[in-house]
A and B are shown apart, each in its own frame.
Chain A
Amino acid sequence: MFKKIEDLNYYELLEVSPTASSQDIHKAYERVRRVYEPNSIALYSLFTPEETAAMHQRIEEAYRTLIYEDNRKKYDASLRSRNELPEAPPSRPAPVYQAPTRQPTLPLQTENRYLNGTAPSSAPAAPAVGPSAEEVSPVSPFIAEFTGPAIKALREQRGLSLRSIADATKISIRYLECIEADQYTKLPARPYLRGFLVLYAKALGTDPDRLISDYLKRYDAARGHK
């Protein structure tokens, strides 16, 4: 039914279904946020700047609520108490991705750089690394710039090991480490690096364009490209 903008619930605000995965919510947020940007020409003459700002604020709130599992559960419960959601919540899909936690039985020799951290995990390689990993909380849009350490933090936030990224992307762990450490001199030539970054971004389920442009900007500056 026709609702006032202020009365829209967070799902309606982001134009997603209440059963949407966190990945869908993230995509919807990125899209809706762009629609309600200040100076968005598609809104011209329809909303005042104050209304647009208020909308923007609400969209941020909606995203912060729905993207964190705990907050979302609480919010769903409050919606259900107001009869805005069907009573029986559809069971959310079980976490698809599980970070391999099993340690190799072989004692590791820490000084051996080939073995260090690269011991093949005995668990089968997780096939679901990447955008299909539904339960992985998506990129925080608040990352100001995708530097190596920021990428590393993002990866750790999602509970992904270097090994699993390497398995998913077929990039050697050595290069992944160099990317995360901003060791530009040890990285391959720019076109190859770009390809690596695309794969890495996809494995993290983040927007490759932003990651690449941020990373390569710093890379170019450091390597003295134009």
Chain B
Amino acid sequence: MIELQDALRKKEIWAIGGGKGGIGKSLITGNIGISLARLKKKVLLVDADLGGANLHTTLGIGVPEMTLSDFLNRRVENIQDVIIKTSIPNLSLISGAQDFLDAANPNFAQKARLLRHLETLDADYILLDLGAGTSFNILDFFLFSDHGILVVLPEPTAIENAYRFIKSAFYRRFKKVVANQNIKDLIDAAMDQKNTMGIRTPYDLIDRVKNMEREVGEILEMEVLKFKPKLIVNQVRTKNDIQIGFSMKSACQKYFGINLEYLGYVEYDDCVWQSIRSKRPLAIEYPYSRPSRCIERIVHNLLRKEQLTLSMLY
């Protein structure tokens, strides 16, 4: 029975992003991968941070011979050839490109080819570790995935970037479903917070689009409901830090009209820093530490399609 379920199971692609750099995206991706692999899931980690790849380091692997750049530049034809086996059973890795100047900016054809090949791979879970920023490549990987996961720190800078990331992803998605060039221009203009048309929130934008073309506005409204990014608050030190996740959920609901799912938080602990210094994965070096436990809890929430609720805290 279990084998049958395994065979029927659909592959899922999760993308981990967040806008700001240095907030633990790679670390969380790597350790979520290890947790999943321990649950006997076949996991492939893809370092989609093409300009600043270091997912391999969080897994304790040296600079790999074959990376994504070999695939993107067609030095190898098959994406299978750039997959590296790790020492952890069920866990493999495609390392990010590192060695040529333009690696961080693949063109559209390269990106499309990568996404097409990812879909053919044999794995239960493919985890994309996204880079910092809100470039189109990053947003497209985020939107392509089945589950987009945002990482924030309980700090204004990280929160600001997370909102900017949500907004950019949101508007990029809008642009993809809209054919009319005038509406596309309107969406571009709305991205500018200081636009002169009085469009402050996504609601204003949809309202404006509805006035232009009613059906398109309704399609956008459906997109709003379908857009359900997930949230992880990293490096929490106090109970108030944990609350920030709920507050962001509330703010997103009211501002964007989207349902941000609060997956969980990762506690701050020096052992994370120590594990990075020793170039060993956190989940292997300190499996019983609080951050490791937090990540396991996040994985459970992801697998059960659940989220953190206020009542769990008290």
Partner among B204, B244, B310 whose Cβ is within 8 Å of the Cβ of A31: B310
Q: Please, what's the 1-or-0 string for B199-236, where 1 marks a CB less than 8 Å from any CB in chain A?
A: 00111101100000000000001001100000000000
Partner among A3, A15, A41 whose Cβ is within 8 Å of the Cβ of B250: A15
Q: Which residues of the partner chain B approach A35 to less than 8 Å between Cβ atoms? A: 246-247, 250-251
A160 and B112 CA atoms in complex are apart in Å by 69
A43 touches B251 (CB 8 A): yes
Q: Which residues of the partner chain B approach A178 to less than 8 Å between Cβ atoms? A: none
A1 and B250 CA atoms in complex are apart in Å by 16
- Does B257 count as interface, using CB distance less than 8 angstroms? yes
- Nearest-Cβ distance from residue B201 to partner chain A, whole angstroms: 7
- Nearest-Cβ distance from residue A132 to partner chain B, whole angstroms: 16
A45 touches B163 (CB 8 A): yes
Q: Which residues of the partner chain B approach A2 to less than 8 Å between Cβ atoms? A: 202-203, 206, 221, 224-225, 257
A32 and B250 CA atoms in complex are apart in Å by 8
**Contacts between chains A and B (CB distance < 8 A), count:** 59
Partner among A1, A3, A4, A42 whose Cβ is within 8 Å of the Cβ of B247: A42
Partner among B156, B203, B225, B310 whose Cβ is within 8 Å of the Cβ of A44: B156
Q: Is the interface of A mostly helix, strand, loop or mixed?
A: loop
- Nearest-Cβ distance from residue A56 to partner chain B, whole angstroms: 13
- Does B164 count as interface, using CB distance less than 8 angstroms? yes
A42 and B243 CA atoms in complex are apart in Å by 9
- Measured as residues with beta carbon below 8 angstroms from the partner, the interface class of chain B is 20 to 34
- Does A221 count as interface, using CB distance less than 8 angstroms? no
A46 touches B163 (CB 8 A): yes
A52 and B154 CA atoms in complex are apart in Å by 19
With A1-B221, A41-B156 given, is the CB distance from A46 to B255 under 8 Å? yes
A41 and B221 CA atoms in complex are apart in Å by 28
Q: Total interface residues on A, using CB and 8 Å?
A: 20
A34 touches B247 (CB 8 A): yes
A45 touches B164 (CB 8 A): yes
Q: Which residue of A lies closest to B250 (CB)?
A: A35
A5 touches B247 (CB 8 A): no
A5 touches B201 (CB 8 A): yes
A47 and B248 CA atoms in complex are apart in Å by 12
Partner among A5, A44, A47 whose Cβ is within 8 Å of the Cβ of B159: A44
Binding site for B on A (CB under 8 A): 1-5, 8, 15, 31-32, 34-35, 40-47, 55
12 contacts between A and B (CB under 8 A): A2-B257, A3-B203, A4-B204, A4-B207, A5-B203, A5-B254, A31-B246, A41-B154, A41-B159, A45-B160, A45-B163, A55-B254
Binding site for A on B (CB under 8 A): 154-156, 159-160, 163-164, 201-204, 206-207, 221, 224-225, 243-244, 246-248, 250-251, 253-255, 257, 310
